[in-house]
Amino acid sequence: MDAAPAALPGPVAVQADCDAPDLAERLLATLEPSAPTLVLLFGGRGDRLGPVGARLSAALGPDCAVAGCSSAGEIGPDGYTAGSMVAIGFPRASFRASALVLPDLGTLPVSDWMAALRRHHAAFGPDPRRSLFGLLLVDGMAGQEDALVATIDAALPSVPVLGGSAGDGLDFRRTTLLAQGEARDDIAVFVLVETDLAVSEVTFAHFSPTQTRAVVTAAIPEKRRILELNAEPAADEYARLTGIERARLTPTEFAQHPLLLRMGRRHHVRAISALTEDGGLSLMSAIDPGTVLTLGRAEDMTQGFAEAMDSLPCPPLMVLGFDCILRRLALERAGLTDTMSDMFTRYRVAGFSTYGEQHSGMHVNQTFVGIAFMPPAVQERGDGAHVA
């Protein structure tokens, strides 16, 4: 009888304190034995990304792409963490990857991006026998995710893409991207990934719509800012609708009472990041005058996640996760952070807390978006739906 083939390795995750003087060496000790073709770095300190990324690139060689971004918190082997750097290595034995920088977010060079994406895909030469997907990391302060995701979806409609917007803690000042051994802003990093493993996208949102609606009667779309709701100053009207005094409105309250935009049969969060000095609401996604929004309410943030993960055909080797910072704030308020960390550990989730998530050709907020990696023998769910 022939010996059974060796199991293909899944991604490897490791974390270390961002302030550790030997940070890169600590990460390399776990990454190097897996011979990665791709390493993703997510860190609480953007200033460490460049030096650490350069050291990893030098040690792992030109055949390993190293990319990453600053975060609003990290998800490591032990669940939620902060002030750390999480590295995820994708072993060459199971993966192939190639990264592309999409520059100049502020000027939206859509035609140039489309041409670059199509060239990148053609040069990559995907193998139709393997699973192919795209990962997107984008400057979370540039405010161009909606246009960028739509551009990628139009250029590569057959490639499923998911990702997250780089964070800056709760400061919302400047985010950092790592690409080609250099830390930069005003860019996005797009990575094509191909694998022999079975993959399945996992998404989860913990909100539902109420009967309370409001119309955006004045806005500054290019700044993602609502000036008026129902012809009243936006902050005042939001406070009235939620029953929360304006002085008590914080990111945690915004996370508990999101504004929802209905598209088709689904509601998507248009998350609020802050009150503005002129009495408006600053959002984390695009908004236009005339938009009808529905007030949402937060629901169970742990049970639904467990159900989403348990619907996978087998326990994952790892789940690469992009988790909105507003979900984390809501969990902290509910006293459920440790519970969710335990669940992340159980399902082997690694990733970071974002300023927004990208999937299905959309930029969204207050969701968990991930991709689960499973043994290649797992090709179908019990109901016959394809996983890969």
Our CA angle for 340, 69, 338, nearest 5°, is: 15
CA gap 318, 163 in Å, rounded? 16
What CA–CA distances, in Å, run from 97 to 63, 76, 86, 222, 281?
9, 22, 19, 34, 39
More confident residue, 267 or 195: 195
Global confidence as pTM: 0.88
CA gap 29, 293 in Å, rounded? 49
pLDDT-wise least confident of 100-109, 169-178, 229-238, 249-258: 249-258
Specify whether the CB–CB gap between 48 and 83 falls below 8 A: no
State residue 329's pLDDT score: 87
Q: Which residues pair with 219 in a beta bridge?
A: 226
Q: What's the chain's average pLDDT? A: 91
Question: Phi, psi at residue 253, to the nearest 5°?
Answer: -65, -40
How many C-beta atoms surround the C-beta of residue 59 within 10 A?
15
Is the pLDDT score of 262 beyond 90?
no
Continuous H helices in the chain: 23-31, 46-60, 110-124, 145-155, 234-242, 251-256, 303-310, 325-334, 337-346
State residue 6's pLDDT score: 54
pLDDT tens, position by position, 178-222: 998 889 999 999 999 999 999 999 988 878 889 999 999 999 998
Task: Compute the average pLDDT of residues 121-147.
Answer: 95
What amino acid occupies position 382? G
Take residue 311 and report the two structure tokens written for it: 């619907």
What would you measure as the largest C-alpha separation in the chain, in angstroms?
A: 77
Our CA angle for 215, 143, 174, nearest 5°, is: 130
Reported as a pLDDT band with limits 50, 70 and 90, residue 383 is: very low
CA gap 303, 322 in Å, rounded? 18
Specify whether the CB–CB gap between 131 and 388 falls below 8 A: yes
- Calculate Rg over the CA atoms of the chain: 21
Work out the percent of the chain whose per-residue pLDDT is above 70: 96
How many C-beta atoms surround the C-beta of residue 201 within 10 A?
14
pLDDT tens, position by position, 32-81: 999 999 999 999 999 999 999 999 999 999 999 999 999 999 999 999 99
Task: Compute the average pLDDT of residues 98-121.
Answer: 97
Task: Compute the average pLDDT of residues 113-121.
Answer: 98
Specify whether the CB–CB gap between 324 and 365 falls below 8 A: yes
Phi-psi region of 360 (alpha: psi -120 to 50; beta: other; left: phi over 0): left
CA gap 184, 357 in Å, rounded? 20
Reported as a pLDDT band with limits 50, 70 and 90, residue 337 is: very high
**Secondary structure string (H, E, C) spanning 89-116:** EEECCCEEEEEEEECCHHHCCHHHHHHH
Work out the percent of the chain whose per-residue pLDDT is above 90: 75
